[in-house]
Structure 1
Amino acid sequence: MLKKGVFAGLLLLAGSVMAETAQEQAVKKLVEPRLGDGVKVDSVVKTPYSGLFEVRVGGDIIYTDEKAQFLFVGNVVDAKSGTNYTRNRVEELNKIKFSDLPLDSALKMVKGDGKRVIAVFEDPNCGYCKRFRKTLASLDNVTVYTFMYNILSEDSVAKSKNIWCSSDRNKAWDEWMLSGKMPTATAPANCVTPHDKVYALGRKLNVNGTPAVFFTDGTRIPGAVDAKTLEEKFASIGQAPKR
């Protein structure tokens, strides 16, 4: 069982912006070459539990010992409270400033009062995104900004261009994602899309799969979550629906 001070120590760890200590730098030097060619370790921080060191690679976390002899892949969970320290830490590291998102490069859908706001990265050829789009259709009082994040194929780029360049982008996107109906008119050659900008943004934010949902508090949920999960998340950040 983890000690009570572990959680407080983790909070301190999550908020720390201090430079790596000599020991942490040594661990980083040892562990990086053991993770494979081309893998770059962003930071190493000594944790308050069991002498482990947190190794951050992009938006992911693994753990190692002080000699980097062992790698621990998985979640550190408080056996008494059920608190998932690793998940909380990953959420903290991956937080964004929602107001910095270039929303002019996204589709905008408003339902009801639109007060509950999310941004979603989706690929037009992503089956999970199509399933998630059906979930979004069941929600009310939401504003959804959709970034067409074309990472699956060149065909994704072509489909997104036809949708972006159509007379009603939101209608075209929903018709494709929900009904498999693509706009009949081909996008004109001179139509400029935000593909490059959105692609660069997704890479910067470590969006490695679609769908990826961002909330106004800066946190994210990867994957095609259900309506119940979305409602619980909205409630947790003070965006519960009106009764």
Structure 2
Amino acid sequence: MKPLFIALFSAFSLTACAQQTDAEAAQDPANAASAAAPAVAQIETTPGTPEDRARQAILSINPNLAIELIDEAPIPGFREVVVSGQAIYVSDDGKYLLQGNLFDVQQKRDLSQAGLSKVRRGLVEQVPASERIVFAPANPKHTVTVFTDVECGYCRRLHEEIADYNKRGIAIEYLAFPRMGLDSDDARLMVSVWCSADRRKALTDAKAGRNVPPRECDNPVATHYQLGQRIGLTGTPLILAQDGTQMPGYMPPDALLTMLDDLAARAAAAE
């Protein structure tokens, strides 16, 4: 039992390490911008219900964890709980906890993704259009949200092919995720991009290594960064379809189009 407990504890501790009190954050300049973002409201549950027992079970491990979703699990006798981009399964009596993907062997499908996609979609939909940097064709067939960094190689490669994505009917809507943290030169450059009069040009220049004049303004970079953490982002670029499905990292234009077409066909068949 010890190895399993350690694995679970480590996963939860990773989230816990990202949680600081206001006093701690105020003493830590590297997290000052992050601390300014609004706190995540905890889910409310009715005492005595399986949902409440699941919530109490998770919070008994770490009371600082922000729970995004509690719903009926695909397996009887369990609730599915989404915490920081992970799907956790808690028995209805609150005694047992399972961590990991739930795979349907007959359908050959990861059932964990349904709840995770629902959470991702809901979180991304909260981002106003005015905060996004959009590269889109006139009549897009598909729209994806991309958490991007100006320094990572695959983010730059994706942007070099932006015209090819657009030609295939794919609109790209960028959100900021400075992977080196909010107190990095990377983050300051992304603030300058989002504060530029022409954000599209500034982002293109930044990804190409060209100079972007330093600027400051009321900007969404810290909010986007925390949103990425809540979704469970571990690397950039993170590409999300409109239904919240997460793509497997960078994908060439033709491969991304094929996957988006497949998602749309499956959604239509399920209606």
Q: TM-score, normalised by structure 1?
A: 0.67
The 1:172–1:80 alpha-carbon spacing in structure 2 relative to 1, beyond 3 Å, is same
Distance 2:145 2:69 in 1: 28
Corresponding residue to 1:60 among 86, 100, 104: 86
Corresponding residue to 2:119 among 90, 93, 114: 93
Distance 1:66 1:23 in 2: 8
Aligned position for 1:9: none
Contact 1:30 1:67 in 2 (8 A): no
- Structure 2: gaps (5+ residues): 1-43, 266-271
TM-aligned CA deviation for residue 40 of structure 1: 4.0
Q: Residue 30 in 1 paired to residue 53 in 2?
A: no
Distance 1:99 1:40 in 2: 19
* Letter matched to residue 130 of structure 1: R
* Letter matched to residue 226 of structure 2: R
Please report the RMSD computed on the Cα atoms of aligned residues, expressed in angstroms: 3.5
Contact 1:98 1:218 in 2 (8 A): no
Q: Deviations over 1:72-116 (max 9, x none)?
A: 221222211213211122212332387653222222323475453
Distance 2:199 2:240 in 1: 21
The 1:115–1:211 alpha-carbon spacing in structure 2 relative to 1, beyond 3 Å, is same
Distance 2:159 2:201 in 1: 13
Corresponding residue to 1:145 among 150, 173, 194: 173
Between structures 1 and 2, the one with greater helix share: 2
Aligned position for 1:174: 204
Contact 1:78 1:84 in 2 (8 A): yes
The 1:214–1:198 alpha-carbon spacing in structure 2 relative to 1, beyond 3 Å, is farther
Query: After superposition, where does 1:69-80 map in structure 2 within 5 Å?
Result: 69-80=95-106
Query: What secondary structure sits across from 1:221 in the alignment?
Result: coil
The 1:135–1:152 alpha-carbon spacing in structure 2 relative to 1, beyond 3 Å, is same
Aligned pair count? 213
Q: TM-score, normalised by structure 2?
A: 0.62
Distance 1:164 1:28 in 2: 38
* Letter matched to residue 176 of structure 1: A
